Amino acid sequence: MHILHVVGARPNFMKAAPVMRVLGKWADVRQTLVHTGQHYDNNLSDVFFSQLSLPAPDANLEVGSGSHAWQTAEIMMRFEPVVLERKPDLVVVYGDVNSTLAAALVCSKLLIRVAHVEAGLRSFDHTMPEEINRIITDRLADVLFTPSEDADINLQREGIPANKICRVGNVMIDSLVQLLPLAMQCPRNGLPERYALVTLHRPSNVDDSASLRSIIKSLLDVSKQLEVVFPVHPRTRQRIAQFGINTEKLHLLEPLPYIEFLALQNRAAVVITDSGGIQEETTYLGIPCLTLRSNTERPVTVSMGTNVLVGQDLALLNSELAKILEGKAKIGSIPPLWDGHAGERIADALHP
């Protein structure tokens, strides 16, 4: 059996690695890895390959950055000949990035089976590009691997037949479980003992000058009580420069490799973020997470985990932060099947 995996952007790598590792143990499975090149900076891409022990890609489409239409179309045009040449029996796509959607569209038209890992998540917010990618990818996929019960319910509500849905748990947590021991040995590198860890890259937060300005202002307020450590996504760095926003009191870093970032999360007093994956990782680690969004496609992190949605409500951010600093943070638990074995369940389901 020939399985082709498609990755493109940072959050894909930690999802594909565990699946490829387990499938690699089957003698009758041949695997091909295609990198679309949606993320191309070393610290958003290459370093993840080495830390997660992903094999070098068999093909890199080197698509780079552009508008959504341009990027999606370009991936489709460059991916189609690769699939035609390599003739996989099944293509596995991960998460909700433009590379995921583009690959699923190409394969469905070539009548090649598609498996979607991390299916069924819904924010119900159609202004979010990832939500469009999720809905269409799930509609096209033949096998839908879900991380939690809410995802199964969303898919059933959309009329996806139950026999296509397979709940396997959270595959990203497999990578976390595997590499946490290494993260715990990371040196502190001069970072403060107690700090708030911040990440920010959602277009709705960073592309608009007023909203980015107000978020940074509230982070400057936070920094009066707690040092703010902020590895900055390239999109956000560009916007901060473009809008001329002063971030002097914040501890800005370059985007970090997987293990170093995991170490920072695990030692943080609180994480303030608009990322999807980080809401899940903090829930697993039991670290308080304040999410700068008014909705989430990962509601289990709120109902069971440590996540609190604060949107852009700065008063709420402050009151939640005060609770955490007083030692009254929300206590969470780890959702079912977030146990480090989701990759095995996926491999078992894929293997004929």
Q: Is 235 in the site for ligand UD1 (CB under 6 A)?
A: yes
Whether 185 and 259 have beta carbons less than 8 Å apart is answered as no
* Residue in 11, 288, 305, 335 binding ligand UD1, rule: CB under 6 A: 11
> In whole angstroms, how close is the CB of 237 to ligand UD1 at the nearest point?
8
Q: How many residues bind ligand UD1 (CB under 6 A)?
A: 18
- The site map against ligand UD1 for 137-176 (x = CB under 6 A) is ----------------------------------------
Work out whether strand 90-94 and strand 113-117 pair parallel, antiparallel, or are unpaired: parallel
Question: By CB under 6 A, which span of 6-14, 82-90, 162-170, 318-326 interacts with ligand UD1?
Answer: 6-14
What is the DSSP annotation of 135-192? HHHHHH-SEEEESSHHHHHHHHHTT--GGGEEE---HHHHHHHHHHHHHHT---TT--
Q: Cα 144–148–151 angle (5° rounding)?
A: 55
Q: Which of residues 35-54 bind ligand UD1 (CB under 6 A)?
A: 38-41, 44
> In whole angstroms, how close is the CB of 344 to ligand UD1 at the nearest point?
26
Distance (Å, rounded) from C-alpha 92 to C-alpha 114? 6
Whether 63 and 82 have beta carbons less than 8 Å apart is answered as no
Active site residue 201: yes
Residue with tokens 């709940």: 167
Q: Is 242 in the site for ligand UD1 (CB under 6 A)?
A: no
Distance (Å, rounded) from C-alpha 212 to C-alpha 102? 30
Q: Nearest-CA neighbor of 100 among 15, 165, 1?
A: 15
* Residue in 31, 36, 51, 98 binding ligand UD1, rule: CB under 6 A: 98
Question: By CB under 6 A, which span of 95-103, 155-163, 209-217, 344-352 interacts with ligand UD1?
Answer: 95-103
- The site map against ligand UD1 for 252-291 (x = CB under 6 A) is ----------------------------------------
Q: 267 CB contacts (<8 Å, ≥6 apart)? A: 188
Whether 298 and 273 have beta carbons less than 8 Å apart is answered as no
Q: Is 129 in the site for ligand UD1 (CB under 6 A)?
A: yes
Question: By CB under 6 A, which span of 18-26, 33-41, 49-57, 309-317 interacts with ligand UD1?
Answer: 33-41
* Residue in 164, 234, 249, 325 binding ligand UD1, rule: CB under 6 A: 234
Q: Is 135 in the site for ligand UD1 (CB under 6 A)?
A: no
Q: Is 340 in the site for ligand UD1 (CB under 6 A)?
A: no
Whether 209 and 231 have beta carbons less than 8 Å apart is answered as no
Residue closer to ligand UD1 by CB (options 35, 39) is: 39
What is the DSSP annotation of 286-300? T--EEESSS--S-TH
Instruction: Please identify every residue annotated as catalytic.
Output: 201
**Site residues (CB under 6 A) for ligand UD1?**
9-11, 38-41, 44, 65, 96-98, 129-130, 201, 233-235
